[in-house]
Amino acid sequence: MEIWINPACSKCRSALSLLDAEGAGYTIRHYLEDPPSAEELTEILRRLGLEPWDVARLGEPVAAELGIGSWPRDEGARGRWVEAMAAHPILIQRPIITADDGSAVVARSPEAVRSVLPGTHPGVRGEAH
């Protein structure tokens, strides 16, 4: 299991605390320092069952600079969104957990974190807000 975090994010710290409390094994990826490629993002989105605009942080200053909030949200624009998020990883919602079983979740709630723990049934997948 891998968790993409920003150490300054309270939801990331909460997710880590819950994983620790549950005794889960995981690796940490500081995705702002080690940004995912467009290919990695495309794969994570597939695993999440979400579109890039579903996990975009539109309140970030760079989102306003790019005007991303007004971009089309359709198949034709998907690559543009992914490329922008790869170039500016601050635009990616966090934390994201990728589980060993192939599932993934935007882990912004305790329920979402628990949904990818071994022995749990698939639960909430995308809670991006």
pLDDT digits (tens, 9 = 90+) for 45-81: 999 999 999 999 999 999 999 999 999 999 999 999 9
Residue 122 has pLDDT above 70, yes or no: no
Q: Counting runs of H as helices and runs of E as strands, what totals does the chain give?
A: 5, 4
Return the half-sphere exposure (C-beta side, CA atoms, 13 A cut-off) of residue 3: 28
Residue 127 has pLDDT above 90, yes or no: no
Active-site positions read 9
Q: Give the pLDDT score at 120.
A: 59
Q: pTM for the complete prediction?
A: 0.87
Q: Give the pLDDT score at 51.
A: 97
Q: Give the pLDDT score at 65.
A: 97
